[in-house]
């Protein structure tokens, strides 16, 4: 659809297969999030706040639709910027305290740095393409020197990587996502990050048509680091939404692993496996949108019912909120990739393509790709621990606070939205044959290959069999005669077991935090106050501050340097009008000299 005649700008939209996939993702998740919001907004906001919510939420969705359907650089960047602004506006609805404004500032700042890189990569097309619509950009690549292609790739990698939240560009993500209203967090995590994946795939595979192997290795490295660090940071969290935000970093890492593998296969002339790896990455994108929105909506339901999302205050919610509890369990099983849930299908495809990497004749690819299967397995193992902790502490056992004890099930529309998402997770998990053929068609269009990845289809035969087997066994065993008697929990024969004696989230993650202490670098201080007697302290205080090491070692020097430079540049600003006129004159002379010799 070409709107160039109607607007003063080159504004055009098209929908190809990949746009259609992401449109489906945005609209499907968006519809259910709006369904959830109907009662959420009603219960949490009134007056102008509710109005703002209902104005900004559809605009936010629309801006994302614009991003994935745009077919000119102008339309794309227009949507891209609006998406950032609307989401920041939605975050502000929940309040504008100093801390929140600081977090939003970091969010906007990093988004603009990312957008700057994106704009730069668009402009690099210009000398070779006569206009910035996608078709002529695609055509221009053929006549482009390799150096420019590398530069475009690197700039888009940084630009879209900032939006996607790969480590170490993820800093804004755990700051901005948790402070948004839950339906908005769901949209930001589940859908907005995916537009960055869309754009990165569009640039790397569609425009540039793949590249040398090192592109793939770079993306694999980014994926591996984001995946492992994301889940490790998540394990240490006990704020539900921050934990989920770090898991978004992890899952983006997994998607990047698939994209990287596809690039490596593409560079080594293995189109079948490239198709498989890219299908895995796109399927994981779809899956992550489904289960992550479900998890964030679940967090919304919890905060609605128990008025807190600190899991150390929760407990026993499954008994009090059965529907939320069950759908949240489905989401947990999906995100950690248990068989019969959707996360498993995409991880399986990814494992399969990594192992196939061993067939490549290039020896470094044949070593690195299979080792990535180990990285993915480690990420999976850590995610199992993290979600066992989350679900076990928040939903099982006894309640740790009065609010959690009096929690009740949320309103019907909220339940319905979550149940539909859960049903989608299970359907893809049991019958991957439903979604795989269309996805393979998308990747084939992107990679211009016609060979269907045969192995992808073996999983769609195995999983229904496994599902049948497990379900028959569960039904058979449930039929066993099991007499039930309720008794108090065993407390070593002593009375008075209470909720403070349960394992807490912090205690649960302690062994893993100890093993991976080098990653966390915790800053602990213990103050013990003795009064007269040496062995009987009067008070013990314990502080543990955990800043991610990136903040200190990477961002702090950069921020300090920028501030120092700004302070020095301030001397230019004298406040004297004559001096400013001199600046203008000097600039004019410089430009004239430049134009003369350029």
Partner 1 sequence: MKFAVNVIEALLIVAIAPLVRGVIARVKARIQNRRGASVLRPYADLLKLFRKEDLVPDTASALFRFAPVVLFAVTVTAAAFVPVLHPSALLGVSGDFIVLVYLLAAGRFFLMLGAMDGGSSFGGMGASREALVSTLAEAPLFLGLTSVAILAHTVRLSGIVEFSVRQNPFQLSAVHVLAFGALALVAIAETGRIPVDNPTTHLELTMIHEAMVLEYSGPSLALIEWASAVKLTLIMALLVGVFVPWGMATSNSLLGLAFALLAFLFKFAVLAIVIAMIESSLAKLRMYLVPDFLGVASALAILAVVFTALMR
By CB under 8 A, the residues from 264 to 323 that bind partner 1 are 316, 318-319
**CB burial of residue 181 (10 Å; 0-12, 13-18, 19+):** buried
For residues 426 to 465, the per-residue mask of contacts with partner 1, x marking binding by CB under 8 A and - elsewhere, is: --------------------------------x--xxx-x
User: Rounded to whole angstroms, how far apart are CA atoms 338 and 342?
Assistant: 8
Tell me the H-state helices in 202-239. Answer: 213-235
Q: Is 358 in the site for partner 1 (CB under 8 A)?
A: yes
Number of residues that bind partner 1 (CB under 8 A): 83
Q: Which pair of structure tokens corresponds to residue 526?
A: 């213990």
For the chain, the C-alpha Rg in angstroms (whole number) is 26
Instruction: Name residues contacting partner 1, limited to 365-404 (CB under 8 A).
Output: 366-367, 370-371, 373-378, 380-382, 384-385, 387-389, 391-393, 395-398
- Among 325, 429, 432, 453, which residue interacts with partner 1 (rule: CB under 8 A)? 325
Q: Is 528 in the site for partner 1 (CB under 8 A)?
A: no
423-432 core/surface letters (b: 16 or more CB in 10 A; e: else): ebbbebbbeb
Q: Is 216 in the site for partner 1 (CB under 8 A)?
A: no
Q: Is 507 in the site for partner 1 (CB under 8 A)?
A: yes
Q: Is 483 in the site for partner 1 (CB under 8 A)?
A: yes
User: Rounded to whole angstroms, how far apart are CA atoms 175 and 191?
Assistant: 17
- Among 3, 126, 423, 466, which residue interacts with partner 1 (rule: CB under 8 A)? 466
Given the rule CB under 8 A, which of 4-12, 278-286, 509-517, 532-540 is the region that contacts partner 1? 509-517
**Shortest distance (Å) from residue 340 CB to partner 1:** 8
Q: Are 417 and 33 in contact (CB under 8 A)?
A: yes
Neighbours of 11 (CB within 10 A): 19
Given the rule CB under 8 A, which of 37-45, 274-282, 306-314, 347-355 is the region that contacts partner 1? 347-355
- Among 6, 98, 408, 490, which residue interacts with partner 1 (rule: CB under 8 A)? 490
- Among 486, 566, 569, 584, which residue interacts with partner 1 (rule: CB under 8 A)? 486
**Shortest distance (Å) from residue 465 CB to partner 1:** 6
**Shortest distance (Å) from residue 371 CB to partner 1:** 6
Helices 322-335 and 363-395 pack at an angle, to 10 degrees, of 160
Cβ proximity to partner 1, 4 vs 499, nearer residue:
499
Residue 69: phi, psi to the nearest 5? -105, -10
User: Rounded to whole angstroms, how far apart are CA atoms 441 and 12?
Assistant: 24
- Among 478, 532, 539, 567, which residue interacts with partner 1 (rule: CB under 8 A)? 478
Residue 544: phi, psi to the nearest 5? -135, 115
User: Rounded to whole angstroms, how far apart are CA atoms 591 and 458?
Assistant: 65
- Among 147, 488, 493, 496, which residue interacts with partner 1 (rule: CB under 8 A)? 488
Given the rule CB under 8 A, which of 103-111, 177-185, 361-369, 581-589 is the region that contacts partner 1? 361-369
Q: Is 348 in the site for partner 1 (CB under 8 A)?
A: yes
Q: Which helix (H) or strand (E) holds 370?
A: helix 363-395
Cβ proximity to partner 1, 478 vs 525, nearer residue:
478
Given the rule CB under 8 A, which of 198-206, 292-300, 352-360, 548-556 is the region that contacts partner 1? 352-360
Cβ-proximal residues to 371 (8 Å cutoff; 6+ apart), any chain: none
**Shortest distance (Å) from residue 264 CB to partner 1:** 14
Give DSSP secondary structure letters for 94-137: T---HHHHHHHHHHHHHHHHHHHHHHHHHHTTTTTSSS-BHHHH
Give DSSP secondary structure letters for 139-182: HHGGGS-HHHHHHHHHHHHHHHHHHHT-TTTTTTHHHHTTTS-H
Cβ proximity to partner 1, 6 vs 492, nearer residue:
492
Q: Which pair of structure tokens corresponds to residue 324?
A: 């939320």
Q: Are 62 and 68 in contact (CB under 8 A)?
A: no
Cβ proximity to partner 1, 23 vs 355, nearer residue:
355
Neighbours of 579 (CB within 10 A): 11
- Among 426, 497, 519, 554, which residue interacts with partner 1 (rule: CB under 8 A)? 497
Cβ proximity to partner 1, 116 vs 512, nearer residue:
512
**Shortest distance (Å) from residue 15 CB to partner 1:** 35
- Among 344, 428, 432, 446, which residue interacts with partner 1 (rule: CB under 8 A)? 344
- Among 491, 559, 565, 582, which residue interacts with partner 1 (rule: CB under 8 A)? 491
Cβ proximity to partner 1, 79 vs 325, nearer residue:
325
Q: Is 515 in the site for partner 1 (CB under 8 A)?
A: yes
Q: Is 494 in the site for partner 1 (CB under 8 A)?
A: no
SS3 state of residue 280: helix
Cβ proximity to partner 1, 370 vs 413, nearer residue:
370
């Amino acid at each position: 659809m070409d709107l160039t005649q109607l607007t003063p700008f080159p504004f055009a939209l098209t929908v190809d297969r990949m746009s259609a996939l992401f449109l489906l993702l945005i609209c499907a998740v968006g519809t259910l999030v709006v369904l959830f919001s109907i009662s959420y907004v009603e219960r949490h906001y009134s007056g102008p706040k509710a109005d703002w919510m209902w104005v900004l939420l559809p605009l936010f969705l629309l801006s994302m639709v614009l991003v994935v359907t745009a077919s000119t650089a102008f339309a794309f960047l227009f949507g891209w910027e609006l998406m950032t602004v609307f989401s920041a506006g939605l975050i502000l609805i929940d309040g504008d305290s100093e801390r929140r404004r600081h977090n939003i500032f970091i969010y906007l700042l990093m988004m603009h740095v990312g957008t700057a890189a994106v704009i730069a990569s668009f402009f690099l097309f210009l000398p070779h393409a006569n206009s910035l619509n996608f078709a002529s950009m695609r055509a221009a690549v053929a006549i482009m020197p390799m150096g420019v292609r590398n530069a475009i790739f690197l700039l888009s990698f940084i630009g879209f990587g900032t939006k996607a939240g790969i480590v170490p560009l993820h800093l804004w993500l755990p700051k901005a996502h948790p402070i948004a209203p839950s339906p908005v967090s769901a949209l930001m995590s589940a859908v907005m990050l995916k537009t960055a994946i869309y754009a990165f795939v569009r640039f790397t595979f569609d425009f540039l048509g793949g590249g040398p192997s090192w592109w793939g290795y770079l993306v694999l490295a980014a994926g591996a680091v984001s995946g492992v660090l994301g889940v490790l940071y998540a394990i240490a969290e006990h704020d539900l939404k921050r934990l989920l935000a770090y898991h978004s970093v992890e899952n983006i890492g997994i998607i990047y692993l698939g994209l990287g593998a596809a690039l490596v296969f593409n560079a080594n002339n293995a189109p079948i496996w490239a198709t498989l790896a890219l299908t895995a990455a796109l399927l994981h994108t779809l899956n992550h949108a489904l289960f992550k929105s479900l998890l964030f909506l679940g967090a919304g339901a919890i905060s609605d019912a128990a008025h807190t999302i600190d899991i150390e205050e929760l407990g026993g919610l499954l008994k009090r909120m059965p529907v939320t509890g069950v759908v949240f369990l489905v989401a947990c099983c999906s995100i950690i990739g248990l068989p019969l849930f959707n996360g498993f299908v995409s991880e399986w495809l990814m494992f399969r393509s990594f192992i196939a990497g061993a067939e490549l004749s290039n020896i470094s690819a044949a070593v690195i790709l299979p080792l990535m299967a180990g990285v993915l397995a480690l990420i999976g193992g850590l995610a199992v621990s993290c979600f066992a902790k989350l679900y076990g502490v928040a939903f099982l056992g006894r309640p740790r606070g009065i609010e959690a004890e009096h929690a009740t099930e949320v309103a019907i529309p909220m339940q319905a939205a979550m149940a539909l998402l859960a049903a989608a997770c299970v359907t893809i998990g049991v019958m991957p044959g439903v979604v795989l053929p269309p996805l393979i068609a998308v990747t084939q269009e992107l990679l211009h290959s016609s060979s269907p990845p045969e192995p992808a289809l073996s999983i769609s035969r195995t999983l229904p069999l496994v599902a049948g087997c497990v379900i028959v066994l569960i039904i058979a065993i449930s039929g066993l005669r099991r007499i039930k008697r309720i008794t108090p929990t065993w407390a070593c024969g002593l009375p008075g077991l209470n909720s403070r004696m349960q394992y807490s989230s912090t205690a649960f993650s302690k062994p893993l935090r100890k093993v991976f202490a080098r990653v966390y670098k915790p800053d602990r201080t213990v103050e013990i106050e003795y009064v007269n007697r040496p062995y009987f302290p009067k008070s013990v205080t314990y502080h543990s501050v955990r800043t991610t090491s990136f903040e200190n070692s990477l961002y702090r020097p950069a921020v300090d340097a920028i501030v120092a430079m700004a302070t020095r540049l301030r001397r230019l600003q004298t406040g004297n009008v004559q001096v400013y006129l001199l600046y203008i004159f000097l600039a004019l002379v410089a430009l004239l000299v430049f134009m003369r010799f350029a």
